[in-house]
Amino acid sequence: MNRKPPITAEEAARAIIKKRGGVIRTAEAVKSGIHPRTLYSMRSKGTLELISRGFYKLAAFPELANPDLVSVSLRAPKSVICLISALSFHGITTQIPHSVDIAVEEGKHIPKITYPPTTVFKFSKEAFIAGVESFDIDGVTVRVYNPEKTLADCFKFRNRIGMDVVLEALKLYKQNMKFKVSELLKYGRICRVEKIMRPYLETLL
């Protein structure tokens, strides 16, 4: 009777990583029984790709759809993608983000991310928790503000990102999505920019 040869450490590691959608954190790998030496060996052979410090992806898996958003979300899972990065995610800007914009709650730990370039914005608790949506991207949960909350945030930080960017996003939002005035004003109140937003919304009605 022929016995199947025992699986190698790398084969066992691949099986574990596959179950996690092809992406794994070093700490999770070790906790799952993968020896760091196995990870380094797989990386040197090209079986694993380093996508961010401490995070690996199986090379055989498809390229990540949004590698920067995935990398940042892995490093800072409690943060939320915001402002220009969120506008880009929702397809309501022609701007190309030069960094990943993330929101963190005031008083909370600010993650240190060296790559990809990341810009951190501090939000009040009420503004931080409002309008968050979760998306599964390549097996990773990515938290992004919905379009209406994003637009309110853009009015809030208009001096940082530029009013021309805000107004372009508002026009593209009207063209490409259902124009939810009540939702926009609701988030405007939360972000304390309702009075600033209202005249611009009225011109588009």
Q: Tell me the two tokens of residue 125.
A: 């608790």
44/19: higher pLDDT: 44
SS3 62: coil
H or E segment to which residue 159 belongs: helix 158-161
Task: Report whether pLDDT(170) > 60.
Answer: yes
Highest mean pLDDT: which range of 48-57, 64-73, 150-159? 150-159
Amino acid 62: pLDDT:
64
The pTM of the full predicted model, rounded to 2 decimals, is 0.74
In a shared domain, residues 45 and 92: no
Question: Does 79 share its domain with 50?
Answer: no
Print the domain residue range for 27.
Answer: 9-58
Tokens of 78: 């409690």
**What is the Cα–Cα distance from 115 to 99, expressed in whole angstroms?**
9
Continuous H helices in 46-180: 67-75, 83-90, 125-129, 147-156, 158-161, 163-176
What is the widest separation between alpha-carbon atoms in the chain? 81
Domains of the chain: total? 2
Of 136 and 64, the one with more pLDDT: 136
Q: What is the mean pLDDT of residues 88-110?
A: 92
Domain-located, residue 1:
no
| Mean pLDDT score of the chain | 88
Quick one: 131 and 75 in the same domain?
Answer: yes
Q: Quick check: is 2 in a domain?
A: no
Does residue 25 share a domain with residue 97?
A: no
